[in-house]
Structure 1
Amino acid sequence: MGLPISELFEEFDPEPIGVASLAQVHVARLRDSGKQVAVKLQHPHLAEFCDIDMEMVEVALGWIKHWFPDFEFTWLAEEMRTNLPKEMDFTHEANNAARTIREFQDITTSLYIPSVLTSTKRVLIMEYIKGGRVDDLVYLADSNIDRNKVALELSRIFNQMVFINGWFHADPHPGNLLIRPAPMGSKSPYNFEIVLLDHGLYFDLDTELRVNYSKFWLSLIAPASPSTSADRRKYAELVGNIGPDLYPVFEAAITGRAALEGTWEDDVGSPSESENPPSTFKRASGMIDMMPQTEEEMEAIRNAVINREGLLVSVFDVLRRVPRRVLMVLKLNDLTRHLDHALMTTHSNIRIFLITAKYCTFAVWQNDRRRLIDLMRDQGLISLSLLSEYFTSWWRFKKNYYGIVFVETIMDAQARLALLRAWTQGLWSRGFEGAHKAAAGLA
């Protein structure tokens, strides 16, 4: 930056509070304002070593492809070539953070993005935020933060990004998320804020892909039927370039489960009974029917990986075919599922899927509404057929949306009852301290 540390900062802690592959973060205090800041510094000589690293990765993956053609990972090197330069330019990260703030400025949300004070290619000076990890149950309990609400709010934030904004954070993991009690003046609807860090890598989804992905999710959530099964395969091909042969593997990646009802059985070339013995667990008709994952289901997944010929190769084939931005969306799915589990929530395991269904339903209606209004403008008149289609789409949206809200209300009441039971049991056995710990998932 052309200046010594002593001229920029009144204080600068030489011990980093966080270290990752590209940079490390230090706490400092600005000399001109006295404001405490977080300073993200790119590691020295990173650019020259990254060029060497990428060459090594490309050579290694090329040899793997040569000797083991089924294990094709050259796309990974191509992805590094495209995205690593973006992550190494902190002005790009500052622009991403600013855009995300704009995307959420008119939305009632607990999301908070630290403001960027200064950005250069290798140095980022940001507002310093003190908080805990979102999955730190002790921190949540000490701050009187409801872990159920945290899990649901995380799901809302990322579903808003994917299904409505079409612009999403592509490096989601608990280390990039902080939580803190909501400060004075916060627009959060709850008593906490979720702070999203590290905005180096974002992806966008064009309208067609975003709406087709919404329709795919809605087909997964709907009860199984011949038309639903056809829709699932249709949108899997439109969203992920996945044909009928690989559909079951793709569905498992989306849902995180063995398979929905009819997934394997309807496939051409599905495994024989000897390769894939009858399941000892009941498969869900749709994602809303899913029960908590049982040991029998996990065992069925392990057996399929071991016994079904070519299944691992099919997994690699799916990774190769699916567009990179869709793979990044799958990472978001995994994050919300993982955090819902890590937070030991008392609501149903399908509760976060209902949030996804609401956002998908709204995204499809939003697209239908825009399309029909554009048709009316182009034709210069409002025909009865277009008007009828408009109100049909509107009614379908309202019916589905408020149907989901009704189910959410029931599930949230059940979750509160589960919390009350835990609190009562803790009170009975260990007094008020035990009641507090039990309700917080700590006992």
Structure 2
Amino acid sequence: MLLSVGDDVRNGYDAIERTGRVAATLVLCINDYRTTLNQREKLEDAEEKEHVLKACHKRCAERTLKVLEKNGGIFIKLGQHLSAMNYLLPAEWTTTFIPLQDRCPVSSFESIEQMFRKDTGEELWDYFSEFSPEPIGAASLAQVHLATIKETGQKVAVKVQHPSLEQWSKLDMSLTSFTFSTLKRFFPEYDLEWLSSEIEVSLPIELDFRCEAENARRTKEYFARIPELPLVIPDVVWAKRRILVMAYETGRRLDDLEYLDSNGIDRDEVSATLARIFNEMIFGDGAPLHCDPHGGNIAIRKNPARRGANFDIILYDHGLYRDIPQSLRRSYAKMWLAIIDGDMERMKRYVTEVAGVGEDKFPLFASAITGRDFSVVSSSILKPKDASEQKAMSGALQDGLLADLVQMLGQVPRIILLILKTNDLTRSLDENLRTRQGPVRQFLILARYCTRTVFHEQLEEIRRRGSLYWPPNALRVLAAWLGLLRVEIKLEAFELWIGVKRMFGYKNSSVLGGMA
């Protein structure tokens, strides 16, 4: 009884301390920004204005980092997400949070044993003959241990949730929501409440590993129908709410270029394979979409026995998934075809269908979805990105477009936010591979999936008119098929050209015309 009262007192104190850290830092940062912005208005020199604002960004980011590390758990997850939002947040914030990608908490082996006993009703050693006391990897919400199943001798990876998350998750989500709503009250032009709303929806699902197990099973089953894609999803052995046991599949990071080169793994082929996998997830009928494909969730290993590619892509962490509705998938495909063709009127039409974005915000959304400056989007997106374009995009955000971008992201559907996130992460993976081919091959692969999606929609519409063999319908089918064939031939020709150049030792160049 006394022990229980003591625990309640300690937990109450810890809750007050967690809340106090967040509230105190929030007050300090709001006051710092208001003081800095008032001071900035009195300055005339542009460089000095920029200097005082950057210094404020840095101070506030460092204060916030300390709170995120102290509170841990969900706050680490939030910081990791913010560190990847370099299209939205100042560099002082994103770079300060980068250490959170590798500085994750590790729960004690004793607490893992206790949680296993509580969740399964068994002792850990009743089921496993071996279980590494130290995790082979730790993330914000969980850590992974190597183990061997006693009955079968199978080597497995055991993902266990940090036991403390269950105690603090509701309070931490409330504190996150309070933080963003308070920031909105003082700085209404920077409304980030949509971020906390998305966390409130997605986090409870990510914290239930049974959902992750089901996502992994669905993805494995779906891609089993496409054996030419070298994708490996570890088999699920069993899952509880806070414990997930999967087959142990290991590989190296995608950005380990030395490993790729020394094992004869072609970076361009890895890039193309990733494009096919994630376009299949977005445009495939009934395909589940993995919404967190960062570098730590994907591995690669050499597999000389595989036909075609000489490697496997291993996909981990299936907690954050979404299904894209068919109508959205089709409009999204038409939007991308319009972007690739440089057709502004069709772009505007389908951007409205996809995201509900009006003409005033259209250039901003087009840049956000493509990761390119609007001047490039409106001319030819097939051109490689250079330093001057990146500088122009950064300058545009500093010149006042940042507030517009924040407001726009608060208005688009949640599924579009996750697609944007997936796009950003896959673009980052591709950039880290440092391929030689430029963006042409990626866009041709994208165009193939988009054209197939539109082709199937056209067939449905034609069937509603009557038999496909009725002469007018047969002509419509032929026209739709020729549109698909045009893209297929163009991609096959480019693939052949790449193969010939590789055979003779030449570097790839982006020398293919537009899709029109």
TM-score range, shorter chain: 0.7 to 0.9
Task: Report what 1:229 is aligned to.
Answer: 344
2-structure distance, mates of 1:105, 1:318: 38
Aligned mate of 1:202, from 317, 321, 325: 321
- Structure 1 residues 178, 60: closer, same or farther in 2, change over 3 A? same
Q: Is 1:251 equivalent to 2:251 in the alignment? A: no
1-structure distance, mates of 2:473, 2:388: 51
1:377-392 to 2 correspondences below 5 Å? 383-392=470-479
1-structure distance, mates of 2:473, 2:402: 48
Task: Report what 1:132 is aligned to.
Answer: 252
What letter is aligned with 1:398?
A: L
Instruction: Give the C-alpha shift of residue 262 in structure 1.
Output: 8.1
Q: Is 1:147 equivalent to 2:267 in the alignment? A: yes
Task: Report what 1:405 is aligned to.
Answer: 492
Q: Is 1:286 equivalent to 2:380 in the alignment? A: yes
- Structure 1 residues 6, 191: closer, same or farther in 2, change over 3 A? same
Task: Report what 2:389 is aligned to.
Answer: 297
Q: Provide the secondary structure at the position in 1 that maps to 2:374.
A: coil
What letter is aligned with 1:396?
A: G
- Structure 1 residues 77, 303: closer, same or farther in 2, change over 3 A? closer
Task: Report what 2:210 is aligned to.
Answer: 91
Given that 2:292 and 2:425 are in contact with CA atoms closer than 8 Å, whether structure 1 keeps it comes out as no
Q: Is 1:341 equivalent to 2:341 in the alignment? A: no
Given that 1:155 and 1:355 are in contact with CA atoms closer than 8 Å, whether structure 2 keeps it comes out as yes
Task: Report what 1:178 is aligned to.
Answer: 299
Given that 1:347 and 1:412 are in contact with CA atoms closer than 8 Å, whether structure 2 keeps it comes out as no
Instruction: Give the C-alpha shift of residue 412 in structure 1.
Output: 5.0
2-structure distance, mates of 1:258, 1:4: 57
Given that 1:361 and 1:397 are in contact with CA atoms closer than 8 Å, whether structure 2 keeps it comes out as yes
Q: Is 1:320 equivalent to 2:417 in the alignment? A: no
1-structure distance, mates of 2:129, 2:143: 19
Q: Is 1:160 equivalent to 2:280 in the alignment? A: yes
Instruction: Give the C-alpha shift of residue 411 in structure 1.
Output: 4.5
Q: Provide the secondary structure at the position in 1 that maps to 2:140.
A: coil
Determine which structure has the larger helix proportion and give its number: 2
Q: Provide the secondary structure at the position in 1 that maps to 2:284.
A: helix
What letter is aligned with 1:53?
A: D
Task: Report what 2:25 is aligned to.
Answer: none
Q: Is 1:37 equivalent to 2:156 in the alignment? A: yes
- Structure 1 residues 75, 257: closer, same or farther in 2, change over 3 A? same
Task: Report what 2:80 is aligned to.
Answer: none
What letter is aligned with 1:179?
A: I
**Which whole-Å deviations, capped at 9, do the CAs of 1:370-395 have from their partners, x for residues lacking one?**
33234426xxx854332322222112
Instruction: Give the C-alpha shift of residue 18 in structure 1.
Output: 0.9
Aligned mate of 1:23, from 135, 139, 142: 142
2-structure distance, mates of 1:256, 1:417: 33
2-structure distance, mates of 1:139, 1:55: 44
Given that 1:361 and 1:401 are in contact with CA atoms closer than 8 Å, whether structure 2 keeps it comes out as no
2-structure distance, mates of 1:262, 1:93: 37
Given that 1:179 and 1:195 are in contact with CA atoms closer than 8 Å, whether structure 2 keeps it comes out as yes
- Structure 1 residues 170, 420: closer, same or farther in 2, change over 3 A? closer
1-structure distance, mates of 2:493, 2:173: 51
Given that 1:346 and 1:419 are in contact with CA atoms closer than 8 Å, whether structure 2 keeps it comes out as no
What letter is aligned with 1:258?
A: D
Given that 1:172 and 1:331 are in contact with CA atoms closer than 8 Å, whether structure 2 keeps it comes out as no
TM-score (norm 1): 0.82
Instruction: Give the C-alpha shift of residue 73 in structure 1.
Output: 1.7
What letter is aligned with 1:34?
A: G
Q: Provide the secondary structure at the position in 2 that maps to 1:57.
A: helix
What letter is aligned with 1:237?
A: T
- Structure 1 residues 402, 89: closer, same or farther in 2, change over 3 A? same
Give the unaligned 5+ runs of structure 1.
264-284, 422-443
What letter is aligned with 1:363?
A: T
Given that 1:348 and 1:411 are in contact with CA atoms closer than 8 Å, whether structure 2 keeps it comes out as no
Higher relative contact order (CA 8 A, sep 6+): 1
2-structure distance, mates of 1:362, 1:176: 29
Q: Provide the secondary structure at the position in 1 that maps to 2:214.
A: helix
1-structure distance, mates of 2:188, 2:230: 47
Task: Report what 1:429 is aligned to.
Answer: none
Instruction: Give the C-alpha shift of residue 142 in structure 1.
Output: 3.3
What letter is aligned with 1:65?
A: K
Q: Provide the secondary structure at the position in 2 that maps to 1:10.
A: strand
Instruction: Give the C-alpha shift of residue 215 in structure 1.
Output: 0.7
Count residues in correspondence. Answer: 387
Task: Report what 2:60 is aligned to.
Answer: none
Q: Provide the secondary structure at the position in 2 that maps to 1:11.
A: strand
- Structure 1 residues 414, 323: closer, same or farther in 2, change over 3 A? farther
Q: Taking every aligned residue pair, what percent have the same amino acid on both sides?
A: 38
Over the aligned positions, Cα root-mean-square deviation in angstroms equals 2.1
Given that 2:157 and 2:246 are in contact with CA atoms closer than 8 Å, whether structure 1 keeps it comes out as yes
1:406-425 to 2 correspondences below 5 Å? 406-414=493-501
What letter is aligned with 1:410?
A: W
Task: Report what 2:458 is aligned to.
Answer: 368
2-structure distance, mates of 1:73, 1:299: 25
Instruction: Give the C-alpha shift of residue 298 in structure 1.
Output: 2.4
Task: Report what 1:440 is aligned to.
Answer: none
TM-score (norm 2): 0.71
Give the unaligned 5+ runs of structure 2.
1-119, 509-516
- Structure 1 residues 316, 130: closer, same or farther in 2, change over 3 A? same
Aligned mate of 1:4, from 114, 118, 123: 123
2-structure distance, mates of 1:2, 1:200: 25
Aligned mate of 1:219, from 328, 333, 338: 338
- Range 6-15 or range 143-152, more displaced: 143-152
Q: Provide the secondary structure at the position in 2 that maps to 1:114.
A: coil
